[in-house]
Amino acid sequence: MILGTVWFIWFANGHFDEYTVRILNNIAIFVILAVSYNLINGVTGQFFT
């Protein structure tokens, strides 16, 4: 998985423009935040929505 991520970052920097790379970075950050929130809310029950 890590090797695939490193390869995609290398590929994206060479083939996509700066705007597209920024959008992909934002998507990755939001996915990490969503998974983290799901773990905190689901496992520990600290936040009630």
Question: How many helices and strands (H and E) does the chain possess?
Answer: 2, 0
Q: Tell me what the mean pLDDT of segment 34-47 comes to.
A: 82
Residue that has been written with the tokens 């935040």 in this structure = 33
Q: Say if residue 12's pLDDT is above 80.
A: yes
Are the CB atoms for 36 and 43 separated by under 8 Å? no
The SS3 of residue 46 is coil
Please give the pLDDT value at position 48.
66
Range of weakest confidence among 12-16, 27-31, 38-42, 43-47: 43-47
Q: How far apart are CA 38 and CA 47, in angstroms?
A: 10
Q: How far apart are CA 14 and CA 10, in angstroms?
A: 7
